[in-house]
Amino acid sequence: MKALMLGKLAMAIVAAMVLAVQAVAQEASNQSSQQQVSVAKENKRIIVVCLEDRKLALVVNGQVKKVYPVAVGKPSTPSPVGTFTIERRIANPTYHHNGKTVPPGPHNPVGTRWMGLSIQGYGIHGTNEPNSIGKAASHGCIRMAKADVQELFELVAVGDTVELVGKRNEETAQLFGEGQKSAAVATAQPILTAVVTPNAAPAQFPTPLAPEVNGVNQAAQILMTLR
């Protein structure tokens, strides 16, 4: 009888310990989630691109963190203007266009990084034509130098806001300075205005070939028009 009572007591103690451990783990999980939400709220990131200045700024919590030179769409294929979001981040993408496939490497037209926007077929990416940076030379996407796009890639996340501004204004003047009107800038490129509503369908891409971690797919293939 005494042994039975001791056995029941031991079982009760073990059960209590298990419940205590679970409670501690749950509390730690809640605190971690709250911290992640707090960090996400604190780090509000906006990418601003001025097509006229051909510059990109990363703004975090209202402060300019980085400014990069970029290439934008040429007059016949202008970059869209509007407010979008980053829908997908792909490292070392495989490029497809009109039956042509280019694997990751120095000849890939979109370089080593792709940040697809919520307007299908457009994104921020690298290039295999570094001399085009600073010019109106793309098919509508925003091109960046290799080191710049790889740095920016690590500083942004899916869901971040991207503002593409056609003409220099007070906001861009504060970000990039007044700028200088050159002969190339004086030839205004046509503006393709795109408005994204909350219910707009996101850009469509093929199913990734490998699982995505933190918004990054290391082996995904992307299908887009030549940008």
Tokens (6 digits) for 96: 């497809």
Please count the other Cβ atoms lying within 10 Å of the Cβ belonging to residue 222: 20
> What is the per-residue DSSP string for 32-45?
HHHHHHHHHHH--E
Please count the other Cβ atoms lying within 10 Å of the Cβ belonging to residue 146: 16
Q: What is the 8-class DSSP label of residue 143? A: E
Is 141 known to be catalytic? yes
Cα(34)–Cα(38) distance, integer angstroms: 6
Helix H or strand E encompassing 214? none
Cα(168)–Cα(131) distance, integer angstroms: 23
Please count the other Cβ atoms lying within 10 Å of the Cβ belonging to residue 223: 12
Is 50 known to be catalytic? no
Catalytic-role residue among 50, 96, 125, 139: 125
Separation of first and last alpha carbons in the chain: 82
Q: Say if residues 115 and 84 touch (Cβ distance below 8 Å).
A: no
Cα(172)–Cα(201) distance, integer angstroms: 29
Please calculate the CA angle 69-72-74 and round it to the nearest 5 degrees: 140
Tokens (6 digits) for 76: 């016949």
Name the residues annotated as catalytic: 125, 141
